Chain A
Amino acid sequence: MAAVHGDAHGHEHDDHHPSGIMRWITTTNHKDIGTMYLWFSFAMFLTGGTLALGIRAELFQPGIQILQPELFNQFTTLHGLIMVFGAIMPAFVGFANWQVPLMIGAPDMAFARMNNWSFWLLIPAATLLVSSFFLPGGAAAGGWTFYPPLSTQGGLGVDFMIFAVHILGASSIMGSINIITTILNMRAPGMTLMKMPMFVWTWLITAYLLVLVMPVLAGTVTMLLTDRHFGTSFFNAAGGGDPVMFQHIFWFFGHPEVYIMILPSFGIVSEVIPTFSRKPLFGYSSMVYATASIAILSCVVWAHHMFTAGMPAVGQLFFMYATMLIAVPTGVKVFNWTATMWRGSMSFETPMLFSIGFIFLFVIGGFSGVICAIVPIDIQVQDTYYVIAHFHYVLVSGSLFALFAGAYYWIPKWTGRMYNETLGKAHFWLSMFFFNLTFFVQHFLGLAGMPRRIPDYNLQFADFNMISSIGAFGFGMTQLLFLYVMINCIRSGEKAPQKPWDGATTLEWTHLPTPAPYHSFEKPPVVQ
């Protein structure tokens, strides 16, 4: 293998591409674009995280100390939008860019130029979102779900948000078309669909979900735009429209969206756990079917976000049972991961720690999700901190932890260098501790009735809020450690061995040198 590595190294110097900034602006290489996606999403993660710390600082004590209510509302709104559309989604696209061609033995993405476009569209969108804070009237402040009438009445910030969502939607759709085409048309000879790594499978299904619902979101924000400026009345009650209809259309997009943010993390975890258990993934085909079932079910449960908006009992029952049904394929997945570890020869490097942390905490978030699905309970906890706790357990300790697991798992392949294992483990344990400190207590706050998106609260909520805020600052600082570990790895990490994870079985580990050369699989490998 060492000989192969030296050979590949020789190749690297033959590549001539523009250097400096132009390399990054004009690049069509899936690895460069993947890297840019990941850095972009991390920058957005820190931006959205800063907003979250603003929120938690205000909620440290009852009363208004730091953020006036108007600004507080802008913080909650932009925190949600930036984290969903700027951090989590682009991060997964970054992983897809890096890993999908490597894992299926393709030389690059199917449409390399379009790939470049879908990344660079993110920059104006992010600029629109962040700069809207400096507009007269400030940024959008009606929540990340931008329900009318607040979103039809808001100021210029809402228009900036609408355009940002349009651009981000276009970027996502282009990215998904690229990913679907790459996976369906460019697999190495011998790699049938049912031999694809789970990460590729989950991304294929995610990309289909994206092209299914992103255009609906684009339509929704277009309706909002014409309601605001061109005299239509889709959601304007005074003109014959219906604000509740907005919620239906929004969540028709919004619920599949939450699975768009979790399915690729299922994929990452399904790669990491077999590697560090040194066993093949248990129940591979049931994993594929479970992923597909989750995706299909996710399209018929949207109104569980609206149980209190007014709905006939039969509608509530349908959406309640459909929602609870999703727990079945999700349970299959959790069972399979656990069964993969069972009697495996396990070791606990950082990616594995994050994956196990993912399973543990995601299950808590999944259970609180089933609790929220029950109509009478949902009516009680709607718009309280219980819901906040629920979706941060699935989005932070779900999606984000899986992203961390993936980053630690593949960084040796990407850079040819190892991260500092001690610091990586410290990052995991600190994240684990502070995450739970922040969000576990929010379950209690929600059950006691503390409403979300309000800058002040009753004195009875003071202690738990203080604990939560301390946790949030700890969690935020811990992520700077992640930044340090990554930069340290890239610049001065120890040279990675050819195959740092002995249990890894996917193509990028078995058929490519470490680090992966700039151009890989120009001649497709043959899969047995």
Chain B
Amino acid sequence: MVNSNNTKANVLMMKKLLVFTLIMFVFGYALVPFYEKFCEVTGINNLLKPDVSVNDKNWVDEERWVTVEFDANTRGLPWQFKPLQRSTRIHPGESITVMYEITNNSEREVIGQAIPSYSPRFLDKHLKKFECFCFTKQVLKSNETRQMPVQFVIEPGLPADINTVTISYTFFELPDGASTIKK
């Protein structure tokens, strides 16, 4: 059968390959910080970043009106979540603050994180947020109610055929001890 010389070489080869396997397993995990760094450097994935400071002077297009509808959802957490106004009409370039209200209906403390989504989808290119409750996690004690602002501007660059846009937020429950959202 296999002579001892060969067995030795085989075991050495197995060890090398096992080390390689381990390295690749670690590499899989290393892809996570690499991916985040890559997105940061290239500026992809900036959905949750405040885009401009409130002092920026924007040109306001007073000839034009855009209807902004507000939508609020929760997923899997015992909260009531609603905007204080269903919709509003603003000029592009004009900054506006809208209040949302959340109520924790349960008897426990719940941590939630809001994730925005927009209609039309490319609205994120023209929507600049100065302030948003979605930038941080929200901690609500049992039966607590909180009002939270979103301050934003829709840039005049919004295509002329868009007259109505929708800004939607969905709250997800954040597992205890999860890191806060990256900024």
Q: Show the binding face of A for B, using Cβ within 8 Å.
A: 107-108, 110-111, 173, 176-177, 180-181, 184-186, 211-220, 223, 231-234, 236-240, 242, 244-245, 248-249, 252, 310, 312, 522
Contacts and interface: CB of A to CB of B under 8 A. Distances in A.
Interface stretch (B24-32, B87-95, B99-107, B147-155): B24-32
B6 A186 contact: yes
B13 A216 contact: no
A408 to B, nearest CB: 32
A62 B75 CA distance: 32
Contacts of B31: 216, 245, 248-249, 252
28 contacts: A108-B2, A110-B2, A110-B13, A177-B14, A177-B21, A180-B13, A181-B10, A185-B10, A185-B13, A186-B6, A211-B20, A212-B24, A215-B21, A215-B27, A216-B31, A223-B29, A238-B172, A239-B174, A239-B178, A239-B181, A240-B179, A240-B180, A240-B181, A242-B39, A248-B31, A249-B35, A252-B28, A252-B31
B115 A238 contact: yes
B69 interface: no
A242 B45 contact: yes
Interface centre among A173, A217, A239, A522 (most CB of B within 10 A): A239
A180 B17 contact: yes
A84 B172 CA distance: 34
Nearest to A217: B28
Interface of B is mostly: helix
B179 A219 contact: no
A249 B21 contact: no
Interface of B: 1-2, 6, 9-10, 13-14, 17-18, 20-22, 24-29, 31-32, 35-36, 39, 42, 44-45, 112-113, 115, 172-182
B77 to A, nearest CB: 10
Contacts of A216: 24-25, 27-28, 31
Given A233-B178, A237-B172, A248 B24 contact: no
A68 B136 CA distance: 40
Given A239-B113, A242-B39, A249-B35, 17 more contacts: A111-B10, A177-B14, A177-B17, A181-B10, A213-B24, A215-B27, A216-B27, A223-B29, A231-B178, A238-B112, A239-B181, A240-B179, A240-B181, A245-B32, A249-B28, A249-B32, A312-B44
A83 B89 CA distance: 55
